A and B are shown apart, each in its own frame.
Chain A
């Protein structure tokens, strides 16, 4: 089972995501991203959305993946809570994400994430996988 926790940063916020596989760590990072924006307990799985990203290396892939998800929220208005990673290499990810349309009246909100930074970006493996990323909020 993967997990995530938030890391303190003076102005912004980080996510430390863990998983038995790289894909699981990426899914947990995505869950961390949406959890920081919306109370996911109130989000239903009514829609699925295919998200794909690619990048020259695994660290950049994490940034690209999370940026795709911010785009899905900003442009498609999607609050996502489940991330089924269908294909994954160190430079490519394809995931079926589930959630519903963001509804200000029903969803309790946190703070919007503006972007994903390269600051302190780290992906480590030691048996399992651990990904650290900081967000600009």
Chain B
């Protein structure tokens, strides 16, 4: 299929494509897309590249408006977008984080093997499905009051959950920001956001959120894998994908309004309302940052609770203490967030606000932000694929600091809309087909919710990871394949 982008895009090298700055009047930097020939041919048929160009309008943006190989059409920002703006004089855009603030992935490892889990898989998936509130409108098992207790969640994040007995203190250092980002200000979070969030803490949600029991099937970097607790093919791992639920969604909705009217006052003109932005150092920008950090902490508390019930589920089925089962956290990483970080810009250390909208932080070895345990190897990068094929564990590479402000892809990226996915699979028993492949899927939303998230709706995550690996943003460490999935 030909597209207008054939004429616009300039190939930089095997893994990079440029949208030149003169593509549109008002772009402050070029667009830079990480993709190979195959992926770019599907990307140009989506509307995501126009969004890459629009993000380049943000005042204070440096280097490029970037897109990871799993890029697809979002709203305002593309999903898979990375944009860094100067703290000094630049803007922050709530749309550059998205509604699901700190949507992210947590990965646990175990000492169990496929041979041990396979015979008990149905019981295990039943236990997980019973113990972890999943699906639309589901309520959490814990009750918190939307004021004082919520303030604790918003300021302390995962540590709050650990203090409630939900989790292991050893999980905290292996969570981005130790599961608690500082400078979160609960007074910046509206009572409506609190009301939405209070009943939803400790819930997985619906859509593409899931919990997956996996088995390691290939190890590429044995030494790094060892540091992450991954020792051999056949080992069982778990991935949890969810975010800040209604609390984060409401924070984003609230602040798009605030920032849009502030942006008009500060004379910021952007080609899409969903990109609304305010100067980082303005009162409105600071309030949004403070509220966004609260929502990020809520999400870390949320994943902490879910990890705890995951351990309890394994304990119920295998009748052994989770510690005896070696259920340790590999890492927990955000993929919808804005972080203030220092990066080299034109040879100078510069404070930037790095927006990662469907992109994962991927810091290399020796980064001061990494936990002691991973200082010598680099940060684990968790890249889930679809529920039929595989997911990846990677590690941040040196090239990411130069090439993408320490960022990488966050998943496979959608290939088909939800409607197209359902039409293509009409009449097929997807859960039955996955079961024949040895994958047990449990979903509240019935056939449609499985069909919308079926493997065929997604790009092949291995192609996406291959580009990030080839471009030296990450190094592949291990591949895992799904055995069981619970979802909304």
The residues of A with any CB-CB pair to B shorter than 8 Å are 6, 8-13, 37, 56, 60, 67, 70-71, 73-75, 77, 102, 104, 108-112, 114-121, 134, 136-137
Contact = CB atoms under 8 A, between A and B. Distances in A.
Given A74-B196, A114-B99, A104 B135 contact: yes
A8 B75 contact: no
Interface in B249-275: 249-250, 252-253, 256-257, 260-261, 272-274
Interface of B: 46, 48, 72-76, 79, 98-100, 135-138, 192, 195-196, 199-200, 205-207, 246, 249-250, 252-253, 256-257, 260-261, 272-274, 276, 414, 416-420, 444-446, 448-449, 452, 488
Contact of B414 (A10, A74, A115): A10
B252 A115 contact: yes
Contacts of A134: 75
A73 B99 CA distance: 17
Nearest to A120: B75
10 contacts: A10-B48, A10-B416, A11-B417, A70-B249, A71-B195, A109-B444, A115-B249, A119-B274, A136-B100, A136-B249
A12 B274 CA distance: 14
B195 A104 contact: no
A77 B452 contact: no
A115 B74 contact: no
Contacts of A73: 137
Contact of B137 (A9, A104, A108, A117): A104
A10 B207 contact: no
A75 B414 contact: no
B196 A118 contact: no
Contacts, number: 116
Interface SS of chain A: loop
Contact of A104 (B138, B419, B420): B138
Contacts of A117: 75-76, 99, 274
B445 A102 contact: no
A131 to B, nearest CB: 15
A60 B258 CA distance: 13
A104 B444 CA distance: 9
Given A111-B206, A112-B137, A112-B488, 15 more contacts: A9-B73, A9-B417, A10-B417, A11-B72, A11-B74, A13-B418, A37-B136, A77-B137, A110-B449, A111-B448, A111-B452, A115-B249, A119-B74, A121-B273, A136-B99
Given A73-B137, A112-B136, A137 B272 contact: no
Contacts of A9: 73, 417
A8 to B, nearest CB: 4
B99 A115 contact: yes
B199 to A, nearest CB: 8
A74 B418 contact: no
A10 B46 contact: yes
A73 B206 CA distance: 14
Nearest to A9: B417
A118 B253 contact: no
B46 to A, nearest CB: 6
A31 B245 CA distance: 23
Contacts of B256: 118
B136 A118 contact: no
Given A104-B444, A111-B206, A111-B488, A10 B253 contact: no
A10 B449 CA distance: 15
Contacts of B253: 67, 115-116
Contacts of A71: 192, 195-196, 250
Contacts of B75: 12, 117-120, 134, 136
Nearest to B247: A74
A114 B75 CA distance: 13
